[in-house]
Amino acid sequence: MASRYPLTPGITRLARRVPIELGRHHALPRVQRQQSSLARAAATAVRCFSSSRPRQLQQTQQRCANNTKFTSETYPEIKRDGRFATITADHVSYFRGLLGTESAVIDGVTSDSAADDLEPFNSDWMRKYRGHCKLVLKPGSTDEVSKILKYCNDNMLAVVPQGGNTGLVGGSVPVFDEIVINLSRMNQIIDFDEVGGTLVAGAGCILEVADQFLASKGYIFPLDLGAKGSCQIGGNLSTNAGGLRLLRYGSLHGTVLGIEAVLPDGTIVDDLCKLRKNNTGYDLKQLFIGAEGTIGIITKVSIQCPQRSTAQNVAFFGLESFEKVQQAFREAKGQLSEILSAFELMDEGSQALIRDVTKNRKPLDDKYPFYCLIETSGSNADHDSEKLQAFLEDVMEKGIVSDGTLAQDETQIKALWAWREGITEALGHLGGVYKYDVSIPLKEMYQLVEDTRARVDAAGLLGDTDDHPVRAVVGYGHMGDSNLHLNVSTRRFDKRVEEVLEPFIYEWIEKRQGSISAEHGLGLQKKKYIGYSRNPTMVGLMRQIKTFFDPNGIMNPYKYL
Amino acid sequence: MASRYPLTPGITRLARRVPIELGRHHALPRVQRQQSSLARAAATAVRCFSSSRPRQLQQTQQRCANNTKFTSETYPEIKRDGRFATITADHVSYFRGLLGTESAVIDGVTSDSAADDLEPFNSDWMRKYRGHCKLVLKPGSTDEVSKILKYCNDNMLAVVPQGGNTGLVGGSVPVFDEIVINLSRMNQIIDFDEVGGTLVAGAGCILEVADQFLASKGYIFPLDLGAKGSCQIGGNLSTNAGGLRLLRYGSLHGTVLGIEAVLPDGTIVDDLCKLRKNNTGYDLKQLFIGAEGTIGIITKVSIQCPQRSTAQNVAFFGLESFEKVQQAFREAKGQLSEILSAFELMDEGSQALIRDVTKNRKPLDDKYPFYCLIETSGSNADHDSEKLQAFLEDVMEKGIVSDGTLAQDETQIKALWAWREGITEALGHLGGVYKYDVSIPLKEMYQLVEDTRARVDAAGLLGDTDDHPVRAVVGYGHMGDSNLHLNVSTRRFDKRVEEVLEPFIYEWIEKRQGSISAEHGLGLQKKKYIGYSRNPTMVGLMRQIKTFFDPNGIMNPYKYL
């Protein structure tokens, strides 16, 4: 963190460029920030273009030496479905004829030389899942996707649709020898309506690329997440990604206006509507949002993009209890209302891990059990600062917030966000992690972390020394969406840890009518746990829908349901 | 409209309680409004509780003397499906046994005395559609809905699910002798989470009642429309109603978190999730949103409600061209951004009709080809006023807006809204209306009105005298959503008018890839026109989905697809 400035109550400081420390129960100064709106706009831009290097880095490392266990070894109970054909040279020959260019086909079937090239498509970035795929296809058009799928369906060849392969539940890599259909070549920005704000792009368009394009037009992509530099918008839709600003811009079920998709039999579903309102029949596109590639492949996306905010503020607080975090959230919703764009929660454990890894100076001097990051985005910097100021004064006076700091420029905004966005990377550096992405009614949201920690501790598995497999049980997430990321950081994988965690965590969530997957999806990881969040009637209906669209079951098998 | 005040450039007036007239190209004064936030809150409340008396009034009149032609006479080509059984005394006896209370069954099967009581359920409020239903059932619980549907499905009795019966396309009234299942008794507010803002209510809950409840908690229902005093939230979902503030709060596909629904075979689909994020399987609830009761009956709704804004402003402009309306919209999106909650368009023709009917003094002295109503909703009245002021100055200086007025209190806010919301009622008073609710890419949105007017005129059907069947061709609607209401006001129904209008209008929309139904739905009216907005592949898939959920076709037959 950059330099900080202790507050003297009642003194007004102008044009300050460093974060302000907020003293407990002290009235805040009326800080008049003198940044031009241009500088503010730049600050916004920098935040949005932050790269997701961590994931890409790990992928590169992976290509050099992949020691990841095969999924088929980790989960020996999953057996290859004998109905699926094995890929032959004839199949490869068909695909080569169809796709033309050499680079569109990575062939490990007729030659062993492509083994290294296949690796990044076979493994996920967490090195948790690894398949035996020997053929990667990179279609360049919807028509090619259609012909590929029809051929696969006719020949009982299983496939895995793949975007940026940044998923967290093993949904985008094969288990056995499924063909990977990678959408990265279908990355065009196709159309943009500058008055209405409707963007149409290929499914392979990288989220950050789409957002940069929109920034140049004064708009913003209504989804933002850590992997934005690698993930593709088709994959985002297939996962129904939530991300950092769902609180403000809502879910993809609301913002996506249309899709083009290809069904397993090659049928092209052209539902690429660009209209905000279209009540002509069942909204079929919704089934593809969050379907994780199990009923078809999304090839194009039409999405409603909001106006980009020119002003942005970020504040970081320390709070004494989860009760106070809830109070702060309620106050923020009321007082910051239409400009609130993120309300993120981090516990002290998660921040301690970042400090251990990065050695960065922490935003606040003292330690608190909880920290919140609040972001505002609006069209008038002065108004937003004033609202934020009034909010800060109020929550300090009421004793809800104990200490805080306010970013004064783009560098500080980025630095504060790093204490939230950097958690995943920091945890990755320290060893294996059991990650749970869950939704729980707000009131009990953090209780899961405490109950899990107590349970791991009681089993003698948690400690500061090497003889304990578990280093820490931490929680963070999107408070605004009741979405908790419970992470169990381990020194080594130990079967006893898993036994203590599962099914305990899933049962805990079921009792509170929470969701075992808030935004990461089911993939392979949670396929067998869906029953904790969906009743048998729902699961039965879903299975029928799967069969309706994919009677041969070739789409992303062994996963989801 | 209340008194108005001519502007002198450069003069600042304080504490003004009357609308401000904005002179062309004149700089706006910095008006400091002195209203307390309480007064502003009251203003907000009044707007939101405006009743939808017109529709209820018409329904009452209807009960006294219903001269509406039967749908079966208006559309002789629609034949009763011979697969459906005719209701017998035995059937009625089963339902009486099931529902218990006398008032839950309106029986015109075993006795003629209920004829008058059946009428309101048989006819729509526009007096355009009228069925031959002889049995209305009003279940009081999901279990009763389930038993009713199972019995109907087993006995091949066709049904029409019905909410507040405020629909505009004949979707909620029977055509022949279908049983009406009216949800009005299932009107409870079941649960509300005051921190998260999640409301759970019965499908029969009236929209305005839900919104009043939410107002008391500081929240707002994310849907608002003219019929709010009569329409029910289950019906809103089934229609996928859009309304006045979709621009701000997004569509129901984004805000609805969960539903409970009953399938035709009696299966209760419990998907009543209260979480903002839940990625565990296909999002089946989305199929019921906008399904118009053709695959099941929604019995409960869980919805994410935003914080209620404490400050509200409404401005009304005159503009010289549709080009300038587009410019004003773009500027409003940019400058008012997060506080913009409505941007409505009215042409001079629509305003002239209101003036003719109400004799009210018009908001602006001069006539303009176009008028816009802009509403802002925010958490800080001073900030919002300042933003709106800056916006007004800007659009006046740029010559985008020619004249305008700004409401100064709740009465004036209501009065200005009446010039937009009163159009439907005014048109209804003048005689028959051909109503088209369509989405068109913004650039060409108003062109449809001009082309239609020219066509009707060229056919010699449009004029001021009684020998012309058409009085006016007018356009208005939700500019923010590209949603136009094209209305053709007639002195009498004349077959030639319909021939001039259709299929011309649908073909015109098809060429622009617009939607023939933006927010009203398909119902009976647009069943045969879906092909203008959906390709055969989509329609084919929809038909399969219909068969998947309702293999016997008992749900709301003769409509939708």
Place of tokens 């492509």: A114
Residue B378: predicted pLDDT? 95
Question: Which residue does chain B place closest to A481, by CA atoms?
Answer: B276
CA B555 to chain centre: 23
Cβ partners under 8 Å of residue A67, min gap 6? A127
Of B5 and B336, more confident: B336
Residues of A in contact with B274 (CB under 8 A): 441, 513
Do residues B344 and B372 make contact, with C-beta atoms less than 8 angstroms apart?
yes
CB atoms within 10 A of CB A36: 9
Q: Quote the ipTM score.
A: 0.89
Let me know how many helices (H) and strands (E) chain A has, helices first: 20, 16
Q: Which B positions 464-523 lie with beta carbon below 8 A of chain A? A: 478, 481-483, 513-522
Predicted confidence at residue A45, as pLDDT, reads: 27
B307 touches chain A (CB under 8 A): yes
Q: Is B280 on the interface with A (CB under 8 A)?
A: yes
Q: Which of A280, A387, A478 sits opposite B517 (nearest CB)?
A: A280
What is the per-residue pLDDT across B367-416, written as a single tens digit (0 to 9) for each?
999 999 999 999 999 999 999 999 999 999 999 999 999 999 999 999 99
Beta carbons within 8 Å of B196's beta carbon, 6+ residues apart: A441, A442, A482, B274, B276, B304
pLDDT at B148 over 60: yes
With contacts defined as CB-CB under 8 Å, which chain B residues touch A307? Answer: 333-334, 337
* Alpha helices per DSSP H over A66-168: 71-74, 89-99, 115-122, 142-154
- pLDDT at site B538: 98
B-chain residues near A218 (CB < 8 A): 334
pLDDT value for B364: 96
Closest residue, chain A, to B331 (C-alpha): A195
User: Which residues of chain B make contact with A269, given a CB cutoff of 8 A?
Assistant: 537-538, 541
Query: Which B positions 27-56 lie with beta carbon below 8 A of chain A?
Result: none
Give the span between the Cα atoms of A302 and A206, in whole angstroms. Answer: 14
Task: Round to whole Å and give the CA distance between B448 and B347.
Answer: 13
Instruction: Return the SS3 of B294.
Output: coil
Q: Would you call B276 and A516 a contact, using CB atoms and an 8 Å cutoff?
A: no
- B155-206 pLDDT, tens per residue? 999 999 999 999 999 999 999 999 999 999 999 999 999 988 999 999 999 9
CB-nearest to B333 from A307, A516, A548 is: A307
Mean pLDDT of chain A: 88
Task: Please tell me the predicted confidence (pLDDT) of residue B431.
Answer: 84
Q: Which residues from chain A sit within 8 angstroms of residue B538, using beta carbons?
A: 269-271, 281, 284
Rounded to the nearest angstrom, the minimum Cα separation between A519 and chain B is: 5
The b/e string for B411-432 (b: 16+ C-beta within 10 A; e otherwise) is ebbbbbbbbbbbbbbbbbeeeb
pLDDT by residue, tens only, chain A of 561 residues: 333 322 222 222 222 223 333 433 333 332 223 333 323 333 332 222 223 333 333 333 444 456 789 999 999 999 999 999 999 999 999 999 999 877 899 999 998 988 999 999 999 988 889 999 999 999 999 999 999 999 999 999 999 999 999 999 999 999 999 999 999 999 999 999 998 899 999 999 999 999 999 999 999 999 999 899 999 999 999 999 998 889 999 999 999 999 999 999 999 999 999 999 999 999 999 999 999 999 999 999 999 999 999 999 999 999 999 999 999 999 999 999 999 999 999 999 999 999 999 999 999 999 999 999 999 999 999 999 999 999 999 999 999 999 999 999 999 999 999 999 999 889 988 888 999 999 999 999 999 999 999 999 999 999 999 999 999 999 999 998 999 999 999 998 788 999 999 999 999 999 999 999 999 999 999 999 999 999 999 999 999 999 999 999 999 999 999
B425: confidence class by pLDDT, cuts 50, 70, 90: confident
| Beta carbons of A515 and B268 less than 8 Å apart | no
Asked if B380 and A383 come within 8 Å (Cβ–Cβ), the reply is yes
In the predicted structure, residue B61 carries a pLDDT above the cut 60: no
Q: What pLDDT was estimated at residue B60?
A: 37
pLDDT of residue B441 exceeding 50? yes
- Of the residues B252, B282, B329, B391, the best mutation for testing chain A's interface (the one with the most A CB atoms within 10 Å of its CB) is B282
Cβ–Cβ < 8 Å for A68, A414: no
B521 contact partners, CB below 8 Å, separation of at least 6: A279, B167, B168, B169, B171, B239, B240, B290, B292
* pTM summary value: 0.89
User: Which residues on A lie below 8 Å from B330 (Cβ)?
Assistant: 194-195
Q: Which chain A residues are closer than 8 Å to B37 by Cβ? A: none
A 522-541 residues with CB < 8 A to B: 522, 526, 530, 533-535, 537-539, 541
The one-letter amino acid at B35: Q
Distance CA A33, CA A454 (A): 45
Q: Each residue of B465-474: pLDDT tens digit?
A: 999 999 999 9
Residue B130 burial (CB count, 10 A): 24
Q: Which two tokens stand for residue B177?
A: 């002798």
